[in-house]
Amino acid sequence: MVEATVSQGCDYLGRIPANIKFLVEQPLSDGSYLSRIYPSGKLRKKGSQPILVRVIEYTIEHPGNPTEQLTYRLITSLLDIEKFPAELLAREYHQRWEVENTIDELKIHLLGRKTHVRSQKPREVVQEIYGWLLGHWSVRVLMFQAASTAGVPPLRLSFTGALRVIRRAIPKFQHLQSEEFPLFSIG
């Protein structure tokens, strides 16, 4: 995959499993280092040219257990440490996964895998997508409110867990009068 990306003139940044070992060829001042990888074990044995990569290793706090540390290792073709410091790349890598998690929440957990856009006209498709996004935003707002009330960081709450709580509460709220809704009450 690295070779295909490089051959297209593109850069990459991706996580590497712990079982892949790298030799430190040149340590860099931001804590990362240069190393080389081979496209495959077969090509290594055949004398293929290795690919130069920059390796970034770091640890973060485990979301479920603050006393435990998770070690991450990324490789990239972005070799300029002035333009692309290791800390920036690590932060952006995790930010990307926040976006991926949000897309997963929307596609898989909120809509279900088999839900398709039902609308037939472009304007209605946009309206339906806005409805899905509004539903996702509503769940996240409720999670934020619950986390604030409990005094915990919102990212510690499970989207699927919150969705289960909301789905279980829907029958109860369907029987309430509008003045009984806490969000719509005055005062």
pLDDT per position as a tens digit, 53-96 = 999 998 887 766 777 887 889 999 999 999 999 999 998 887 77
pLDDT of residue 183: 61
Q: Are residues 71 and 128 in the same domain?
A: no
Query: What's the domain range around 173?
Result: 116-180
Q: Are residues 27 and 80 in the same domain?
A: yes
> For the chain, how are helix, strand and coil distributed in percent, rounded to 5?
45, 15, 40
Q: Are residues 143 and 76 in the same domain?
A: no
- Residue 108 inside a domain? The answer is no
Q: Are residues 78 and 126 in the same domain?
A: no
- Residue 185 inside a domain? The answer is no
> Of 41, 68, 86, which closes a domain?
86
Number of domains in the chain: 2
CB-based contacts of 36: which residues, under 8 Å, 6+ apart?
23, 25, 50, 51, 52, 53
Q: Residue 126 has which token pair? A: 């946009």
pLDDT of residue 114: 63
- Residue 128 inside a domain? The answer is yes
pLDDT of residue 83: 95
Q: Residue 31 has which token pair? A: 């804590």
> Of 69, 86, 103, which closes a domain?
86
Low-confidence ranges of the chain (pLDDT < 70): 40-45, 47, 63-64, 109-117, 181-187
Which residues partner with 59 through β-bridges?
A: 71
Q: Are residues 60 and 129 in the same domain?
A: no
- Residue 171 inside a domain? The answer is yes
CB-based contacts of 65: which residues, under 8 Å, 6+ apart?
none
Say what the pTM is: 0.58
- Residue 68 inside a domain? The answer is yes
- Residue 101 inside a domain? The answer is no
- Residue 145 inside a domain? The answer is yes
- Residue 59 inside a domain? The answer is yes
- Cα separation, 64 vs 61, whole angstroms: 9
Q: Are residues 78 and 127 in the same domain?
A: no
